[in-house]
Structure 1
Amino acid sequence: MRVTLCRAVLAGAIGLNLLLLYCAWRAPPPPCRSPPRGVPGVTVLLRDFEDFENDLAGTARSFASLPIPVLVAAETAPYPPVPLPAGVRMLLLRPTADQPPPLAHPEVHIRTRHVALVPDGTRAVPGLLERMRNALEEGDGDTRLVAAPVGSVPLRCLELQLEPRAWTARYSPGTPGVCQAVEGTAVLLLRTRDLFALPFPLARPVPTALFVQAAFRGWRLRVMPAAFPAARRPPISPHGRWKAHKLSETRWRQLMEDLGIKREVLADGQERWYGCGKETARCFGTVHARTPQYLLAGRWTPPCCLRALRETARHVAGVLEATGVRYWLEGGSLLGAARLGDIIPWDYDVDFGIYREDVSKCQWLAMAVAGEPVEDNEGFLWEKAAEGDFYRVHYSRSNRLHVDLWPFYPREGVMTKDTWLGHPQDVEFPESFLRPRVPMPFAGFTAMAPNNVRAFLELKFGPGAIENPEYPNPAVKRLGQD
């Protein structure tokens, strides 16, 4: 058969394609073309800003001009829309059903070894981020953050002491230069791997979230003297200020809940409280086996709960004394008074004993006898307990932190009662312990107590009860196992 030129060209083309396919099949896979993780440099991350009034576009434009990578992080896209400069990317943090979790692979979004969290309204200074990075790398191993002020007001160095068992963060003046937190507006720089190793890497407000999580890990912070300029911005409208304040308050409370903090002691001695109040439920649920859930988590009674218990105990003692009801500190509450003059730090209620014959003297107890809860003039709720013949006074109708009132009566010189819940310390005792009753400091006021506290407690709890503290049910959790 005669081979024409057209057939020869077609056969050559087919052969070439087959050869290319064979080479592609035998060749090793091509290397990944994406940039390697941890490349040198700094990525600017803009996180702390409001949708309604911000300088996001100006801040992003200033840092993008250096040029360095700039990323904006927000739960959802800002509205009204913000005209971001070319090359500035938006990281949306709120998960959606059709997309992978946004922080599952942070290296996809931030590939540089360092990241700078920049507050809204900051202006770039050439070379300052690099100097912050160098200061971080030249520091000791405990220095994991570097801060530089924004604007003309210098940063104030603070020490931050965390007391996890007491749900407390305590600030105090720090040594200039190296500290654990700062007061003032600041750019914060750290290694990208450190940021995304934190459980709440982009929680707001960003500085407080980073400082507390860093303090849990023993990280230190270095302060740079050089400052970033702050943008000149028109005053925020009154409505904008109101919105910003409400949002800030909501975010702060959510952050404290996430971080397990219910009390902040500020450097000037003022306190901020988070957790339960009169209008909310208490901070923990039903107690099983005399062991509240927080003990199993290695914590003690939340400070807001202790404060509410003190307030309730003081109120109940005042009502009982005013109406002539004879009462005394019982059980673990008397133990706390003997050890500390206060409630035991891990206790979850307060116990008073009362003379049963005096119940009718107090109108609130007399009304509770009928079985209906009654709220007194100050919002405390009195009721007969469902578990037996005793009474409870709750902090409020919503918050069920309470004082238990146990009605005892004398029988042949021995104080007894009709309801026993099986607690080891729940035993009869001679009435002579109450003749007379004696005053004793407790929870910020003076309460009445048995006249021989040590003998009374050792009858209830055994020898050495005052000197040897223990959790309510050592079979479930012992003190010292935290």
Structure 2
Amino acid sequence: MRITFCQGVLAVAIAVNLLILYYISRLQQRILHRHRDHVQPGSRQQLGLLKPGVTVLIREFEDFENYVPDVVRSFVRQKPELPVVVAADRLPYPPMVLPSAPNIQVVLLKPSPDQPALVFRPETYVRTEYVALVPDGVRADSTSQLERMVEELKDSQNQAQMVAAPVNSLAPLRCLNLKVSLKEWTAEYTAAPPASTLCGALRGELVLLLRTRDLFNLSVPLAKPSLTSLFVQTSLRGWAVRVLDVSFSALHRPLLTSSHNQWKADNLAKSHRTQLFQDFGIKRVILEDGKQQWFGCGKETPRCFGTIHDDTPEYLYQNRWTPPCCLKALRETAKYVINILEASGVRYWLEGGTLLGAARYQDLIPWDYDVDLGVYLEDIPNCELLRNAESGSVVDEKGFVWEKAIEGDFYRVQYSERNHLHVDLWPFYPKNGLMTKDTWMDHRQDIEFPEHFLKPLVPIQFAGFLALAPNDYRSFLELKFGEGVIENPEYPNPALKSMKKGN
């Protein structure tokens, strides 16, 4: 059988491709075996048995384009025995060709079912007292840079738990203060004074050095984005970072050589940031310029908490208050509903805990989960949306849902079809001088009250606008909740979760 020229070319091409695939496969296996062979069960060094020195830890890089091998070579060129750990979520592809040496290791952070857990723990591989977090594209210019950082950290131990050196001295780091309130689901950055060298967080490219014991005592030491994650966790511990006058050079600028790769990197960074704040339970980030970023629920997503049991939402059991995105949605819904009621000639007033929040905070109670309004039953026909809600749910032009509540004779306005944060409207009517209604809930404050509290209604500051409230609202609230209720905050069901007892 004769082989044509085209068949021969095709056969050669197939053989070449097979060789390439074989080479890549062997290369990846060699990297993976090197990663596994350096750690055997029972040989792990404990954090209390660390030796002097620094381990370079490279975490921030992109699989699809990076200069990690060059970074590693630049550091081991200065000090051949320097320990270097490259931490990746999974085996990098395309494969990275790193110098072959026992002090250079790749750590995979995503567990594999056929391996022991310690293989995927980065602290298994870091056996020095200090660790330097080095981003992609950094060049070590001398052996003294890391040594200088260690000495500075030792000298600063009473003030700073970390030291930082900028990458490229022409791009100074921005020193920030960072306040994280898990109770309020919020991280707030503010600019530090110009002369500050002690910071709560930093912006810019940098090498960060800290004690190995400190790093691996953080909850998630290598979450991405690395610096955002670290500074959120360290700020909760009251740690500071000192900025040094030492700097590192950059190997390449830019790191990513195509607009497509830049687009991929930007999307990944956004995804990592969103996931990080979701994992940390941070739903609002206030930047140093005052702009706000939201990572919680919106009109197109469900609300941030589930069904309420025994008047105690799940976030109270987590020692948190209402997520700020939910408070924002409740304020928006309340203002919208009140504007429509006023335009329709429906008399309303702030009720229950909503009035209590207005009296105490001029806003919602920080742990509240809905808004309550009282309305005159006889005024309901004045509002077209309430009339139409009698026969079924109505989604208005702004996406709010008006409906008759299934729990009884009252109305509910939901933030959206997906997000069921809501305003409840309770229809009252006068009877023998008292305001009463047809549906009562098992709440202490859900009682009849004299109509004179509504004649007249008075304006009160609430959630950034003026709303109407019963006159002498202090007496009104004390009738419903008890004496001194404005000055003595308490959770809705103290028997289950008490603010005063801290349980």
Task: Report the TM-score, using the length of structure 1 for normalisation.
Answer: 0.89
1:161 maps to amino acid: K
Among candidates 138, 149, 166, match of residue 132 of structure 1: 149
The residue number in structure 2 matching 1:280 is 301
The residue number in structure 1 matching 2:313 is 292
1:134 maps to amino acid: E
Cα gap change, 1:129 to 1:348, in 2 (>3 Å): same
CA distance in 2, matches of 1:413, 1:51: 75
The residue number in structure 2 matching 1:16 is none
2:270 maps to amino acid: E
1:227-250 CA distances to partner (integer Å, 9 max, x unpaired)? 101122355422222211211111
Contact 1:275 1:283 in 2 (8 A): yes
CA distance in 2, matches of 1:297, 1:103: 32
CA distance in 2, matches of 1:172, 1:47: 27
CA distance in 1, matches of 2:436, 2:375: 11
The residue number in structure 2 matching 1:462 is 482
2:172 maps to amino acid: P
2:414 maps to amino acid: H
Of the structure 1 ranges 179-188 and 58-67, higher mean CA displacement relative to structure 2 is found in 58-67
Q: Is 1:149 paired with 2:166?
A: yes
Q: Is 1:382 paired with 2:402?
A: yes
* Other structure's SS at 2:249 match: coil
CA distance in 2, matches of 1:317, 1:403: 10
User: How far has the Cα of 1:198 moved from its partner?
Assistant: 0.9
The residue number in structure 2 matching 1:48 is 60
CA distance in 2, matches of 1:132, 1:260: 33
CA distance in 2, matches of 1:351, 1:48: 48
The residue number in structure 2 matching 1:218 is 238
* Other structure's SS at 2:301 match: coil
Contact 1:46 1:118 in 2 (8 A): yes
User: How far has the Cα of 1:219 moved from its partner?
Assistant: 1.4
User: How far has the Cα of 1:290 moved from its partner?
Assistant: 0.7
User: How far has the Cα of 1:35 moved from its partner?
Assistant: 7.7
The residue number in structure 2 matching 1:82 is 96
1:43 maps to amino acid: T
CA distance in 1, matches of 2:206, 2:123: 24
Contact 1:91 1:102 in 2 (8 A): no
Q: Is 1:190 paired with 2:210?
A: yes
Among candidates 404, 426, 447, match of residue 446 of structure 2: 426
Q: How does 1:53-64 map to 2 (within 5 A)?
A: 53-64=65-76
2:160 maps to amino acid: T
CA distance in 1, matches of 2:357, 2:51: 58
The residue number in structure 1 matching 2:7 is none
Q: Is 1:163 paired with 2:181?
A: yes
1:330-367 CA distances to partner (integer Å, 9 max, x unpaired)? 00100111111110111111100111222222222222
User: How far has the Cα of 1:463 moved from its partner?
Assistant: 1.4
Cα gap change, 1:253 to 1:466, in 2 (>3 Å): same
1:131 maps to amino acid: R
Contact 2:299 2:419 in 1 (8 A): yes
* Larger Rg computed on CA atoms: 1
Cα gap change, 1:286 to 1:33, in 2 (>3 Å): closer
User: How far has the Cα of 1:33 moved from its partner?
Assistant: 8.8
1:34-53 CA distances to partner (integer Å, 9 max, x unpaired)? 88841111111111111222
Q: How does 1:2-21 map to 2 (within 5 A)?
A: none
Contact 1:177 1:223 in 2 (8 A): yes
User: How far has the Cα of 1:107 moved from its partner?
Assistant: 4.3
* Other structure's SS at 2:453 match: helix
Q: How does 1:404-443 map to 2 (within 5 A)?
A: 404-443=424-463
1:430-480 CA distances to partner (integer Å, 9 max, x unpaired)? 112112212211111111111221111111111112122211111111223
* Other structure's SS at 2:266 match: helix
Percent identity between matched residues is 57
1:222-270 CA distances to partner (integer Å, 9 max, x unpaired)? 1111110112235542222221121111111111122222122222222
The residue number in structure 2 matching 1:69 is 83
The residue number in structure 2 matching 1:444 is 464
The residue number in structure 1 matching 2:276 is 255
CA distance in 2, matches of 1:138, 1:161: 26
Contact 1:156 1:182 in 2 (8 A): yes
Of the structure 1 ranges 33-42 and 199-208, higher mean CA displacement relative to structure 2 is found in 33-42
Q: How does 1:13-32 map to 2 (within 5 A)?
A: none
Contact 1:93 1:102 in 2 (8 A): no
The residue number in structure 2 matching 1:7 is none
* Other structure's SS at 1:305 match: helix
Of the structure 1 ranges 446-455 and 171-180, higher mean CA displacement relative to structure 2 is found in 171-180
Q: How does 1:359-370 map to 2 (within 5 A)?
A: 359-370=380-391
CA distance in 2, matches of 1:395, 1:343: 16
How many residue pairs get aligned? The number is 450
1:95 maps to amino acid: P
Q: Is 1:118 paired with 2:141?
A: no
CA distance in 1, matches of 2:277, 2:44: 38
Cα gap change, 1:466 to 1:226, in 2 (>3 Å): same
Cα gap change, 1:232 to 1:104, in 2 (>3 Å): closer
The residue number in structure 2 matching 1:94 is 110
2:303 maps to amino acid: R
Q: Give the alignment's Cα RMSD to 1 decimal.
A: 1.8
Contact 2:44 2:124 in 1 (8 A): no
Cα gap change, 1:34 to 1:332, in 2 (>3 Å): closer
The residue number in structure 2 matching 1:29 is none
Among candidates 369, 372, 380, match of residue 348 of structure 1: 369
Contact 1:278 1:396 in 2 (8 A): yes
CA distance in 2, matches of 1:308, 1:203: 30
User: How far has the Cα of 1:279 moved from its partner?
Assistant: 1.0
* Other structure's SS at 1:226 match: coil
Task: Report the TM-score, using the length of structure 2 for normalisation.
Answer: 0.86
Q: Is 1:453 paired with 2:453?
A: no
1:392-447 CA distances to partner (integer Å, 9 max, x unpaired)? 11111111111111111111221111111110000011112112212211111111
Unaligned runs of 5+ in 2: 1-41
Of the structure 1 ranges 109-118 and 155-164, higher mean CA displacement relative to structure 2 is found in 155-164
Q: How does 1:290-329 map to 2 (within 5 A)?
A: 290-329=311-350
* Other structure's SS at 1:425 match: coil
Among candidates 350, 372, 378, match of residue 357 of structure 1: 378
The residue number in structure 2 matching 1:108 is 124
CA distance in 2, matches of 1:453, 1:467: 14
The residue number in structure 1 matching 2:10 is none
Cα gap change, 1:367 to 1:33, in 2 (>3 Å): closer
Contact 2:110 2:120 in 1 (8 A): no
